[in-house]
Amino acid sequence: MRRMALRTAAAVSDTRAAVIGAAVRSASITGLEGLTIGTLADALEMRKSGLFGLFGSKQELQIATLEAGTALFLREVWAPVAGLEPGRERLLALCDRWLELFEGDQLPGGCLMTTAIVEFDARPGPVRTAVADVMQLWHELLAHEVRTAVDAGQLPAKTEPVDVAFQLNALASAASTSYHLTGKRDGLDQARRIMAALLSTADTSEGVRIPPVG
């Protein structure tokens, strides 16, 4: 009996993971509000009856999808650069991975977080809270990395870390939507060019800072 219960639990867990994977792809196109058991069952070539009961509510499915999207983002964008030296070079490498993710087939409709923000920014509730929490952490991570680059003398001393973080986010979102809206790479190329300029060492007219010792 116990073995069967375990098998059943494992099967449920596999199905849940498959559904969430399909939900991430689907939500990237039609949004978290566009998620339905019907379309997910179609995407997985499963019966709708097999999916009922896996999630207590649509909201639970939406939050699980957001969490899986965040995990995908960290795996594809952050993990590959996490081992590099913190600072300017790592930021540039991160921006490359970030824009590449929007071109790939894992998010066929582009940035899932941009979609979630636009859908829920004006609708208080658990989904908005989940989105806001992730975004705050991401902004802080970016600003911290910019600050590290400034402290190391890799970026001009007058750089405002929170403003650069805001710009990188704004540019990535705009690149994702531009790519899908126009079907052309221009927006991705523009974002990459502007990000590089933002993170360039060119504007050090106020003098090169000496990195702190120790």
- Distance, in Å, from the CA atom of 140 to the CA atom of 138, rounded to the nearest integer, reads 5
Closest separation between CB of residue 103 and its own copies, Å? 13
Decide: is 34 part of the binding site for its own copies (CB under 8 A).
yes
Of the residues 1, 123, 206, 214, which one makes contact with its own copies according to CB under 8 A: 123
Decide: is 82 part of the binding site for its own copies (CB under 8 A).
no
- Cβ atoms within 10 Å, residue 197: 10
DSSP label at residue 78: I
Of the residues 31, 78, 97, 209, which one makes contact with its own copies according to CB under 8 A: 31
Decide: is 163 part of the binding site for its own copies (CB under 8 A).
yes
The answer to whether the beta carbons of residues 206 and 151 sit under 8 Å apart is no
The answer to whether the beta carbons of residues 113 and 184 sit under 8 Å apart is no
Closest separation between CB of residue 29 and its own copies, Å? 5
Using CB under 8 A, which of the segments 11-19, 71-79, 129-137, 144-152 binds its own copies? 129-137
Closest separation between CB of residue 141 and its own copies, Å? 16
Decide: is 161 part of the binding site for its own copies (CB under 8 A).
no
Residue 34 or 50: the one with the smaller Cβ distance to its own copies is 34
Decide: is 167 part of the binding site for its own copies (CB under 8 A).
yes
User: Distance of CA 187 to CAs 99, 131, 192, 195, Å?
Assistant: 10, 25, 9, 12
Helix residue spans in 74-214 (DSSP H)? 79-82, 88-103, 112-120, 126-151, 161-182, 186-198
Decide: is 93 part of the binding site for its own copies (CB under 8 A).
no
Closest separation between CB of residue 176 and its own copies, Å? 8
Decide: is 174 part of the binding site for its own copies (CB under 8 A).
yes
Using CB under 8 A, which of the segments 13-21, 31-39, 58-66, 75-83 binds its own copies? 31-39
Interacting residues of 67 by C-beta distance below 8 A, sequence separation 6+: 130
Burial class, 85, CB count within 10 angstroms (exposed 0-12 / middle 13-18 / buried 19+)? exposed
Decide: is 118 part of the binding site for its own copies (CB under 8 A).
yes
- Distance, in Å, from the CA atom of 143 to the CA atom of 85, rounded to the nearest integer, reads 16
The two three-digit tokens of residue 86, written as one number? 């913190």
Binding site for its own copies (CB under 8 A): 28-31, 33-34, 108-110, 114-115, 117-123, 128, 131-132, 135-136, 162-163, 166-167, 169-171, 173-174, 177-178, 180-182, 187, 190-191, 193-194, 203, 205
